[in-house]
A and B are shown apart, each in its own frame.
Chain A
Amino acid sequence: MDFSYKEKNLIASLGITLLVFGWYFYQVFSNQMLTLEHEFTFNDILRPIILIVVLEIIIQSFLAGKNKNKEDERDALIESASYKNGYWVLSIGVWFLLIQLLYIGSGGWYDILKNASPSFISHLLLLFFVLAEVTNFITQLYYHRKGV
């Protein structure tokens, strides 16, 4: 299969994001570290972000050296169309958290996060950011193949 520079770029970004944040969220949620006793620092969240930036720089510089006519108007159009889908995912996540935070502790059936620590809620927000980014990458790849 013949991939353009932009598609290779997207596949690399998607793979890196899924690997790094998949590993990170697996560790965070499976170990049940998000209790009130366990203190999460900003460095814990910063670590995977720095890892992604470093990996992206390495892979993008490798890809950029081998390709001419890197990006064109079609890539820009696909990018802007895909950002809308990512925005919807992020909006749904933020609204969900907003409503949960308003009703936290009320004891109703809708109070899903009643026992959640602030760390858990902030990681949930981070998860929605990552899901929005993944949606953006997948939509771009889809538009590149199926047309926009």
Chain B
Amino acid sequence: MSQQNLADKVGVTRQTIFAIEKNKYSPSLEVAFKISNEFKVPLEEIFIYD
């Protein structure tokens, strides 16, 4: 799935998806849950708190 596809499905910009990937932005819970729903995996498999 491309960044743009994921961004469109989650309702954010492609730049926000890029920033999340690069660890430059921590998304809100809503966006985090939407991303995990898109990939159909639990939240903690995508996001790690450190």
- Alpha-carbon distance between A148 and B14 when the two chains are bound, in angstroms: 16
- Alpha-carbon distance between A51 and B11 when the two chains are bound, in angstroms: 34
Whether a CB of chain B sits under 8 angstroms from the CB of A37 is: no
Q: How large is the interface on B (under 10, 10 to 19, 20 to 34, 35 or more residues)?
A: 10 to 19
Q: A74, B12: Cβ atoms under 8 Å?
A: yes
Most buried by A among B8, B11, B13, B28: B13
The residue on B at minimum CB distance from A70 is B13
Q: B27, A144: Cβ atoms under 8 Å?
A: no
Q: A73, B24: Cβ atoms under 8 Å?
A: no
Whether a CB of chain B sits under 8 angstroms from the CB of A5 is: yes
From residue 62 to 106 of chain A, which have CB atoms closer than 8 A to chain B?
Answer: 68-75
Whether a CB of chain A sits under 8 angstroms from the CB of B43 is: no
Whether a CB of chain A sits under 8 angstroms from the CB of B15 is: yes
Q: Which 5 A-B pairs have the closest CB atoms?
A: A147-B24, A72-B12, A4-B15, A74-B16, A69-B13
